[in-house]
């Protein structure tokens, strides 16, 4: 079971409508029977009337209904102001070290940063900073920069310290990494909530909703398939993906050009290839996908492969529906599937 922050910390968070605690806990109000996000703009309840839950599911099972104002069952993808500034500083100078004291001088409580980075990026704040430093170093090494200059340029006092840190992250020494690769991860804000994207030097290998339960399993599959480190950062494929997704959500893009790399079993790859052939604004039943790939009796296997698609939206698994026209399943939640289909049918929802 997920551990909750202290009562005092949660009380401070909801009283200040701190969005960085959204998803960390939910508060339920006994007098109204409603549960909310910490960032909810509704009038703040008295602490004696509040109960705390780690997940929205627990609050629902305790008999509370979701607030209609903050919609705690949905992902709002809001980025706290303090986080935007912090990420900009880290990207501007990856070699800088961010101790707890440095964070406090910048008006950021270290416990808040640790919790938020663990929840959003799946790693501690210090691990994120370390990954950014080593990721930048990796890119310089691949570009042919001198190893000594790279090590000293990123704040390592000794070559051996740099080599040890590099090897723990990438699995090989810096000298062997000029032709290597790694998976770069980034997050993308969208009208449907935060998305986690990842790319190698060849193309996009992951695009998932940050709150999807299968995200950890998808990341584990990436490690197994690519045999390389996963670190935060950016590259040309991620930049193009962000641009094309923005155009898509504004209704100005019907197909994607960003390169994809999505290895799977031969059957899975056939399904995913067929998904990309479904026209924008159209839907196709699972049975039809099975027929098109020459496996007309494999509807259930098609559904399973559909659910294991690691590149949401771009490989449009949301366009596959039940034979009776009902939505069927969707890993990101049926409400997202509905909104994507409505968007592609010309409704301006965002």
Q: Which residues are catalytic?
A: 317
The number of residues making up the chain comes to 350
Give the number of C-alpha atoms closer than 13 A to the C-alpha of residue 173, restricted to the C-beta side: 7
Which one, of 231, 249, 260, 275, lies nearest residue 340 by Cα?
Answer: 249
Q: Do 229 and 184 contact (CB within 8 A), yes or no?
A: no
Q: What is the per-residue burial (b if ≥16 Cβ within 10 Å, else e) of 301-326? A: bbbebbebbbbbbbbbbbbbbeeeee
Across the beta sheet with 204-209, what order do the strands follow? 204-209, 195-199, 183-188, 230-232
Q: Under a CB-based contact definition with an 8 Å cutoff, are residues 14 and 44 in contact?
A: yes
**Dist. CA 135–CA 141, nearest whole Å:** 10
Contact status, residue 37 vs residue 75, Cβ threshold 8 Å: no
Q: Residue 143 class from Cβ within 10 Å (0-12 exposed, 13-18 middle, 19+ buried)?
A: exposed
Distance CA 57, CA 53 (A): 9
What is the rounded distance in angstroms from the CA atom of residue 19 to the CA atom of residue 79? 8
How many beta carbons lie within 10 A of that of residue 235, not counting itself?
18
Instruction: List helix spans (H) across 183-265.
Output: 215-226, 236-249
């Amino acid at each position: 079971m997920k551990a909750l922050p202290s009562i005092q910390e949660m009380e401070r968070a909801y009283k200040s409508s701190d969005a960085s605690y959204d998803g960390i806990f939910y508060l339920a109000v006994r007098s109204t029977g409603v549960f909310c996000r910490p960032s909810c703009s509704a009038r703040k309840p008295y602490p004696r009337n509040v109960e705390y839950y780690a997940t929205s599911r627990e609050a629902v099972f305790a008999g509370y209904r979701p607030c209609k104002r903050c919609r705690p069952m949905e992902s709002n993808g809001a980025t706290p102001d303090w986080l935007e500034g912090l990420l900009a500083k880290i990207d501007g100078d990856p070699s800088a070290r961010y101790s707890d004291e440095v964070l406090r001088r910048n008006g950021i409580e270290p416990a808040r940063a640790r919790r938020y980075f663990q929840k959003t990026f799946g790693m501690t704040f210090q691990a994120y900073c370390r990954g950014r430093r080593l990721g930048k170093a990796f890119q310089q090494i691949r570009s042919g920069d001198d190893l000594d200059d790279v090590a000293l340029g990123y704040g390592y006092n000794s070559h051996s310290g740099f080599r040890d840190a590099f090897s723990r992250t990438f699995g090989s020494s810096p000298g062997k990494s000029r032709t290597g690769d790694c998976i770069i991860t980034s997050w993308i804000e969208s009208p449907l909530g935060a998305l986690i994207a990842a790319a190698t030097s060849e193309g996009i290998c992951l695009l998932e909703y940050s709150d999807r339960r299968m995200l950890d399993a998808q990341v584990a599959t990436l490690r197994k398939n690519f045999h390389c480190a996963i670190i935060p950062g950016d590259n040309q494929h991620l930049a193009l993906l962000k641009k094309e997704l923005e155009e898509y959500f504004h209704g100005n893009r019907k197909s994607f050009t960003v390169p994809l790399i999505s290895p799977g079993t031969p059957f899975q790859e056939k399904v995913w290839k067929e998904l990309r052939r479904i026209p924008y604004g159209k839907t196709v039943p699972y049975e039809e996908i099975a027929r098109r790939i020459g496996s007309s009796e494999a509807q259930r296997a098609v559904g399973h492969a559909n659910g294991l698609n690691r590149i949401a939206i771009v490989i449009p698994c949301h366009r596959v529906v039940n034979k009776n026209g009902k939505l069927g399943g969707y890993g990101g939640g049926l409400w997202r599937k509905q909104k994507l289909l409505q968007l592609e049918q010309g409704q301006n929802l965002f």
